[in-house]
Amino acid sequence: GENVEQHPSTLSVQEGDSAVIKCTYSDSASNYFPWYKQELGKRPQLIIDIRSNVGEKKDQRIAVTLNKTAKHFSLHITETQPEDSAVYFCAASGDTGFQKLVFGTGTRLLVSP
Amino acid sequence: SQTIHQWPATLVQPVGSPLSLECTVEGTSNPNLYWYRQAAGRGLQLLFYSVGIGQISSEVPQNLSASRPQDRQFILSSKKLLLSDSGFYLCASRGSGELFFGEGSRLTVL
């Protein structure tokens, strides 16, 4: 089955800096890669996702890149703000609904003013 | 978009007591449903998933069980809770792509 590794486990940056979180996956059949943000005590919420037919996707200050050959994908947050502080999870699965999302272990991002 | 209702939001239960967490989904039909558990400061552990009424797959052997009596209803149960069952339980629903989470049920077993 799929295995997703995520690093770093914690990341501290100054406000305005960029943050990068990296994930690797094992199953070459996976073709859907979402990123979730979880604020303290709340549910995870999707912030961006990418499918395997695309190498990069951007949404304002957030971008995700995918390298299918190397089986890794990354989340990039530019111009970080204190409200970006949260735990971020990557995941991988097939694109059809019945396939399970396998999550990484999470990255705790702390943005200091 | 989907809406997932989950209750109760919080509960404190003694060791050995039973458990029932309920989840209902609106805004979609025939969703794939999931129960995840998150221990304090940890990641998301998939407990059960269901692709249809009465169809349950278990990911981790434990003293929990799940049932899906209706298309958009998913229930997590236990006959006797353990201390290690404490955590944040999240129901999730997936249609064609995105996985949506409910607001979660925080369980403390004392």
- Cβ <8 Å between A89 and B96: no
d(CA B88, CA A111): 25
Q: What local confidence, expressed as pLDDT, does residue A96 receive?
A: 61
Q: Which of B43, B44, B97 sits opposite A95 (nearest CB)?
A: B97
Instruction: List C-alpha distances in Å: A97 to A30, A32, A57, B52, B95.
Output: 13, 11, 21, 12, 5
Do the beta carbons of residue A2 and residue A91 sit within 8 Å? no
Q: Taking 80 as the threshold, does the pLDDT of residue B1 lie above it?
A: no
Q: Taking 90 as the threshold, does the pLDDT of residue B95 lie above it?
A: no
d(CA B85, CA B63): 9
Cβ neighbourhood burial of A83 (10 Å; 0-12, 13-18, 19+): exposed
- Cβ <8 Å between A97 and B96: yes
- Cβ <8 Å between B104 and A96: no
* Percent of all residues in chain B with a pLDDT value above 90, rounded to a whole number: 77
Host H or E run for residue B36 = strand B32-38
Task: Give the pLDDT confidence of A66-94 residue by residue, as tens digits.
Answer: 999 999 999 999 999 999 999 999 999 87
Task: Give the pLDDT confidence of B8-59 residue by residue, as tens digits.
Answer: 999 999 999 999 999 999 988 889 999 999 988 888 999 999 999 999 999 8
Searching chain A, which residue's CA lies closest to the CA of residue B43? Answer: A105
Cβ neighbourhood burial of B14 (10 Å; 0-12, 13-18, 19+): exposed
Q: Which residues in chain B are closer than 8 Å to A95, comparing Cβ atoms?
A: 97
Q: Which residues in chain B are closer than 8 Å to A91, comparing Cβ atoms?
A: 99
- Cβ <8 Å between B31 and A32: no
